[in-house]
Amino acid sequence: MPLFKKKPPSAQLDPAKIPRHIGIIMDGNGRWAKARGLPRSVGHRAGVGALEKITEYCDSLGVKALTAYAFSTENWSRPQNEVDALMDMLYDYLANAEKRLGGRNVRIRIIGDLAVFDSRMKDAILHAETVTAKNTGILLNLAVNYGGRREITTAAKRLAEKCKGGKLDISEVSEDALDKLMYTGGCPEVDLIIRPSGELRLSNFLLWQAAYAELWFSDINWPDFSEKDMLAAILDFQKRDRRFGKTD
């Protein structure tokens, strides 16, 4: 009698229906730490580890892009010590991208309003993007100082500037033209957005891109989010009937 009656979990996936682009709201780091009597910064570090693990797993499945909500435009209002800890972790991750990726075939891109960062952080951003630019695996978009409304506003301003400068006629303003100016320009459409930790909202994340994305929510805090949970999300995604406004 065979040891396993069922196929391994990953074998249940339909390769033709793997989401091309997944967005993740990495929520629950603070709650994870609090439940263990630990500082919030420890929860955020555990969250970085979860992101590395999930990025590698998504790459192995053939996901083309993963956009992770790392720091929002609203997160600056958190206690200064927490903000400082988050910025230190971000800098460390970017400045040591080769070591953190450990040979993984991941390409890093930082998206958001980056003008607020000092030269030290901007250098780290440039370093991470440069040293991973030739990698051919999954694209990891790290959304920092990111807000969906600000992204749309920025893209609209850039479009208006093109019209004002005579580079674009008003008749050429379209959804496609605006989409190309989003921070995620050039990426596949977002197929799936995942939010762990029990919250049931987008919190200003990928508002433009979420138009036809499937949403998947979980009570699991982000540091505990595993390959098994990602598999469950994708299996659920593959069962959904995505009509995009069309009839059956």
Question: Of 143, 139, 180, whose CA–CA distance to 21 is shortest?
Answer: 139
According to DSSP, the β-strands at 139-146 and 192-195 are unpaired
pLDDT in tens, 174-223: 999 999 999 999 999 999 999 999 999 999 999 999 999 999 999 999 99
* Domain annotation covers residue 35: yes
For 158, how many CA atoms within 13 A lie in the half-sphere containing its CB?
13
Cα–Cα distance, 202 to 225 (Å, whole number): 18
- Smallest CA-to-CA distance from 229 within 195, 189, 203 is with 195
Residue 182 lies in a domain: no
Known active-site residue 81: no
Number of neighbours of residue 201 by Cβ within 10 angstroms = 11
Evaluate if residue 24 carries a pLDDT over 70. yes
β-sheet bridge partners, residue 24: 68, 194
Nearest to 61 by CA among 136, 137, 132, 134: 137
What are the angstrom distances between the C-alpha of 235 and each of 13, 15, 79, 124, 187? 6, 11, 38, 36, 22
Q: Catalytic annotation on 29? A: no
What's the domain count of the chain? 1
Residue 22 sits in a domain whose CATH number is: 3.40.1180.10
Query: 105 lies in a domain?
Result: yes
Q: For 103-247, where are the alpha helices, taking DSSP H only?
A: 119-131, 148-164, 175-180, 227-239
CA distances from 232 to 13, 36, 67, 150, 229 (A): 10, 26, 19, 32, 5
Given the residues 27, 59, 191, 229, the one annotated as active site: 27
Judge whether 126 lies within some domain. yes
Q: What's the pLDDT band for 100 if we cut at 50, 70, 90?
A: confident
**Quick one: which of 58, 73, 56, 50 has its CA closest to 21?**
58
Q: Quickly state the pLDDT bin for 242 (edges 50, 70, 90).
A: confident
Q: Does residue 225 lie in a domain region?
A: yes
- Give the pLDDT band (50/70/90) at residue 248: low
Query: Concatenated DSSP letters for 30-63?
Result: HHHHHHTT--HHHHHHHHHHHHHHHHHHHHHHT-
Question: Measured in whole angstroms, how far is the alpha carbon of residue 233 from the centre of its chain?
Answer: 15
Cβ-contact 188, 138 below 8 angstroms: no
Catalytic residue among 75, 113, 135, 204: 75
Quote the domain boundaries for residue 140.
18-148+189-235
Q: Does residue 178 lie in a domain region?
A: no
Over residues 26-79, the pLDDT tens digits come to: 999 999 999 999 999 999 999 999 999 999 999 999 999 999 999 999 999 999
